[in-house]
Amino acid sequence: MIAKLAKTCTLRISPQKLNFILLDKVANGGVSMWCELEQENFFSEFQMEGVSAENNAIYLELTSENLSRALKTAQNARTLKIKLTNKHFPCLTVSIELLSVSSSSRIVTHDIPVKVIPRRLWKDLQEPTVPDSDVSIYLPVLKTMKSIVEKMKNISNHLIIEANLSGELNLKIETELVCVTTHFKDLGNPPLASEDASQDRDPEQMAEVRIDIRKLLQFLAGQQVNPTKAVCNIVANKIVHFDLLHEDVSLQYFIPAFS
C-alpha cells in the first residue's frame, strides 16, 4: 500500500510503533502521509535502541518498493527477521527462512539501502496536525470511488469534493464544456465531528475543496483492501484529510487544495 503511495518515504522506528512518513510541503501542493503500526501486532520479538533515552527512535529514508519486494518473498516463510546493518553503507537487512520441498530450510537475504536521518532533521518529520474540519463524513466503498474517479480523470485534471453534515458527498468536475457530478447519500457523519461542527453550521451546507485528481487517484489505487473505517475531513478550500483504519494499521493522507 505504501509503495503505491510514496516512492521514497521515512521509516520511523520507536519501541512501541513503526511509522511510514511522507511529508511533502503542502504549500507547494505536495501530499502528506502518516501511517502507524503497533509493533506488538507484527513482531514476536522486537529490540531497538535509539539515539538516547529521551530520543529513543531511529529515522531511516528508504525506497518503499524495495522493502515491499523483499517482504513479498516472505509469504510462506517460517521466520522473518529485519535488522539494521552496516555493509559499507547502512542497510535494512531482511532475512527470510523458507522451507524447501525436502523440509530443510534455506535463508534468503535482502539488503535494502537506507539513509539514516540525523536528529537535527527529526523536527520536520512529526505527525501532521489535523486542522479543524468544516465537514467530516464517512467515505463510500473505496473501490467504487476509484472507478468513478478513473473515468472523471479522462475529462479533467481537477476534482471538487464536497460534503455536508447530512451524510451527502459529491464528486464533481467542471470544465468549459461539461459538468459531471456523482452523488453519494446516507454515508453518515462521525458523531463527535458533527456535534462540534453542527453548532454553527447548517447540516445541508456543502463544504468543498478542489484538488488534483491524479493525487486522489493515487491514494485510491493504493488501497488494497477496504478499510474497517474510512473518514474524509474537509477544510473548505484548503485541504482534504483522509483517515483510514485497516485492522492493525492506521493511515492519514492529506491532499492540499489546488491553488
Q: What is the mean pLDDT of residues 202-216?
A: 93
Torsion of CA 229, 234, 235, 240, to 10 degrees: 80
Distance CA(93)–CA(109), nearest Å, equals 7
Average pLDDT over residues 91-103: 87
Q: What residue numbers bound the domain in which 226 lies? A: 135-256
Q: How confident is the model at residue 28 (pLDDT cuts 50, 70, 90)?
A: low
Q: What is the pLDDT of residues 33-61, one digit of tens each?
A: 999 999 999 999 999 998 888 889 999 99
Q: Is residue 8 domain-shared with residue 115, that is, in the same domain?
A: yes
pLDDT band at 26 (very low <50, low <70, confident <90, very high): low
Lowest mean pLDDT: which of 139-153, 163-177, 223-237? 223-237
| pLDDT classification of 147: cutoffs 50, 70, 90 | very high
What mean pLDDT, rounded, does the chain reach?
89
Structural domain count of the chain: 2
What are the tens digits of pLDDT across the range 169-183? Answer: 999 999 999 999 999
Are residue 97 and residue 24 in the same domain, yes or no? yes
User: In terms of domains, do 3 and 114 share one?
Assistant: yes
52 and 103 share a domain? yes
pLDDT of residue 55: 87
Residue 10 pLDDT level (bands cut at 50, 70, 90): very high
* One domain, residues 48 and 152: no
Is residue 160 situated within a structural domain?
yes
How far is the C-alpha of 211 from the C-alpha of 66, rounded, in Å?
A: 30
In this prediction, residues 59-82 reach a mean pLDDT of 91
Average pLDDT over residues 192-202: 62
What 3-state class would DSSP assign to 84? strand
Q: Name the grid cell of 194.
A: 458533527
Domain final residue, candidates 99, 124, 149: 124
- 141 and 120 in a common domain: no
Report d(CA 115, CA 255) in Å as an integer.
Answer: 26
Q: In the structure, what pLDDT confidence band is assigned to residue 240 with cuts at 50, 70 and 90? A: very high
Lowest mean pLDDT among 99-103, 169-173, 217-221: 99-103
Interval 3-29 mean pLDDT: 85
Task: Specify if 129 maps to a domain.
Answer: no
**b/e per residue, 23-49, with b = 16+ CB within 10 A?**
beebeeeebbbbbbbeeeeeeeeeeee
Domain final position from 124, 152, 183: 124
Let me know whether 119 and 139 are in one domain. no
Contacts for 44 with CB less than 8 Å, ≥ 6 apart: none
Is 14 in the same domain as 57? yes
82 falls in which pLDDT band (50, 70, 90)? very high
CA distance 69 to 72: 5
Q: What is the mean pLDDT of residues 190-214?
A: 79
